[in-house]
């Protein structure tokens, strides 16, 4: 709908300029009030969008888009996981326009991986604005490729995600598009979140398609599902989109691949393919809420009288980079259970023995294994000599400075192999969210495994040390659990299940058996069976 030239913004006949007054009719006032109270009504009634085949068309919201609008309105912190081409971005910008029009004096920041992408989203908002009827437009003070400012003193700005994008601004609503694909997203979010979290009414909307494990988007999504953060999750699956059925999936997979379909349309946080723990098992891991938090310690189960615990320790320098960590694992019964986790990047190696001693004593004099490399030696000596804690691993009583375990290539290789078996055979239950994230980013590099770029593996190395120790004679003596036999039995059972899918039929023939020198059981059959 065009307006008079003298009422338009800089000659744009579809945008009302600042200062133009409008006398509402009774019908217009009624519509205005309905739009103000219901964002989805505003969108489906008055917004127009570009259709690939039909050009400019009314924004006919799908049922899940209606729900998405209500979700945005009902929650301060919203996070959306949506399949590719589901209309999440156009729905989001429609909501942002509604928010700006009907909420005075608000600053809305539209941030994307690249500035060009953010400006493209702002151009979609401009198109929607240009096609609004005169009575719904508040008037425009400024309109350019980077921002829109309205007469109600609300504004929408577009920028790339960087640590300085909105620093110093007072932002009321922060919108992050395709956040799983943002480079240096951790750094950006760390610097940006304080800007919006300081107010009591500020809002954050994050949308994205899944893009691997361990990034900040994946962490925030999992936290929202587990209710460990303030974000409320909203999910759009491929079958929610009208017209997408089993045949559509078949054709899409045929033209791409199953893996690509799962990633882009299946909402699966697939790993890089080279994680130590398989992507299938990583997806099945579910974090739990701690029963107690004490500073840097997260307790998932309190100590139980009579239970046996093993504590594995990794030591950092305490300078705010890598973390000093320990994992406490209950080895009383199978599956083994992760019951407590410590994680702190500022604790001094000189003070760490005090903390280890406290919680090792708490968990029934837990058997302590400390990686003795680098700063680990300081912690080993502090715990063993200063605190006189003797229930800990000692490599050799004959060698000086042999307290703790040295992380060699061989130890790491064995530990990685064993922890993989433990997790994938469900012999070890992992419940800590940070540990699961590290598992998701613990990837092959050369002939070994380590954290992927910009991630940590300190908690994971606790588990690697446990995996190595579980295969030692010392572990068998402590627990009466034959680790190797435990895993072998399960593997053998799985093989037998695959070979005999229909069970055993007793045909009446008798067999005899004997055991050879290697412990293998051989059965002999009557000749009429051959």
Tell me 320's DSSP state: S
185 in Cβ contact with 221 (< 8 Å): no
Number of helices (H) and strands (E) in the chain: give both, helices first: 17, 23
Provide CB contacts within 8 A for 41, sequence distance 6+. Answer: 34, 35
Q: What phi-psi label fits residue 130: left (phi over 0), alpha (psi between -120 and 50 degrees) or beta? A: alpha
448 in Cβ contact with 411 (< 8 Å): no
Helix (H, G, I), strand (E, B) or coil at 442: strand
Provide CB contacts within 8 A for 38, sequence distance 6+. Answer: none
The number of CA neighbours under 13 Å toward the Cβ of 314 is 22
312 in Cβ contact with 469 (< 8 Å): yes
Rounded CA gap, 102 and 493, in Å? 65
Q: What phi-psi label fits residue 472: left (phi over 0), alpha (psi between -120 and 50 degrees) or beta? A: beta
Instruction: Provide the 10 A C-beta neighbour count for residue 477.
Output: 8
Secondary structure element (H or E) that encloses residue 41, with its range: helix 39-46
What is the distance, to the nearest Å, from the Cα of residue 165 to the centroid of all Cα atoms in its chain? 24
Secondary structure element (H or E) that encloses residue 356, with its range: helix 352-362
Strand extents, DSSP E, 135-290: 140-143, 147-150, 155-160, 173-176, 203-208, 232-236
Single out the residue of 184, 202, 240 nearest to residue 64, CA to CA.
Answer: 240
Q: Which two tokens stand for residue 230?
A: 């303030």
Q: Which of 149, 178, 371, 438 is catalytic?
A: 178
Which pairs from 526-529 meet CB under 8 Å and 24+ separation? none
Tell me 452's DSSP state: P
CA end-to-end span of the chain, whole Å? Answer: 90
The burial of 281, by beta-carbon neighbours within 10 Å (0-12 exposed, 13-18 middle, 19 or more buried), is given as middle
Rounded CA gap, 205 and 288, in Å? 25
Residue 365 annotated to the active site = no
Q: Which residues are catalytic?
A: 178
């Amino acid at each position: 709908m065009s307006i008079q030239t003298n009422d338009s913004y800089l000659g744009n006949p579809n945008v009302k300029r600042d200062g133009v007054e409008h006398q509402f009719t009774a019908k217009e006032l009624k519509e205005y009030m309905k739009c103000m109270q219901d964002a989805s009504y505003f969108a489906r009634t008055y917004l127009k969008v570009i259709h690939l085949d039909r050009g400019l068309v009314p924004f006919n919201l799908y049922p899940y888009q209606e729900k998405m609008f209500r979700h945005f309105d009902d929650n301060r912190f919203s996070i959306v996981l949506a399949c590719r081409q589901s209309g999440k971005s156009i729905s989001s910008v429609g909501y942002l326009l509604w928010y700006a029009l009907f909420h005075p004096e608000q600053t809305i920041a539209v941030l994307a991986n690249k500035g060009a992408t953010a400006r493209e989203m702002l151009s979609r908002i401009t198109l929607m604005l240009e096609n609004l009827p005169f009575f719904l437009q508040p008037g425009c003070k400024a309109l350019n490729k980077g921002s829109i400012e309205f007469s109600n003193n609300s504004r929408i700005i577009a920028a790339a995600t960087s640590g300085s994008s909105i620093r110093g601004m007072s932002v009321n609503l922060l919108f992050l598009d395709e956040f799983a694909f943002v480079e240096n997203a951790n750094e950006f979010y760390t610097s940006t979140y304080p800007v919006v979290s300081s107010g009591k009414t500020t809002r954050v909307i994050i949308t994205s398609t899944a893009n691997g494990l361990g990034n900040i988007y994946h962490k925030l999504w999992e936290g929202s599902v587990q209710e460990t953060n303030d974000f409320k999750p909203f999910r759009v699956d491929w079958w929610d989109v009208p017209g997408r059925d089993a045949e559509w999936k078949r054709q899409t997979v045929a033209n791409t691949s199953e893996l690509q379909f799962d990633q882009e349309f299946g909402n699966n946080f697939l790993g890089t393919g080279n994680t130590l723990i398989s992507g299938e098992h990583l997806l099945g891991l579910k974090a739990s809420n701690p029963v107690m938090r004490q500073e840097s310690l997260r307790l998932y189960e309190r100590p139980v009288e009579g239970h046996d615990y093993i504590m594995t320790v990794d030591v950092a320098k305490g300078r705010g980079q890598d973390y000093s960590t320990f994992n406490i694992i209950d080895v009383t019964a199978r599956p083994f259970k992760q019951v407590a986790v410590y994680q702190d990047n500022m604790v001094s190696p000189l003070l760490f023995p005090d903390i280890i001693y406290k919680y090792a004593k708490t968990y029934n004099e837990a058997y302590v294994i400390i990686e003795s490399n680098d700063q680990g030696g300081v912690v080993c000596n502090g715990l063993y000599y200063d605190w006189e804690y003797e229930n800990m691993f000692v490599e050799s009583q004959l060698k000086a400075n042999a307290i703790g375990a040295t992380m060699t290539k061989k130890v790491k290789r064995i530990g990685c192999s064993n922890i993989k078996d433990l997790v994938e055979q469900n012999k070890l239950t992992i419940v800590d969210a940070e540990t699961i994230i590290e598992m998701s980013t613990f990837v092959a590099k050369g002939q070994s495994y380590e954290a992927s770029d910009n991630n940590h593996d300190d908690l994971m190395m606790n588990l690697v040390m446990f995996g190595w120790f579980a295969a030692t004679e010392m572990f068998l003596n402590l627990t009466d659990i034959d680790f190797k036999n435990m895993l072998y039995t399960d593997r053998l059972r799985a093989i037998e299940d695959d070979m005999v899918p229909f069970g055993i039929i007793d045909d009446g023939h008798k067999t005899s058996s004997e055991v050879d020198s290697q412990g293998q059981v051989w059965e002999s059959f009557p000749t009429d069976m051959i």
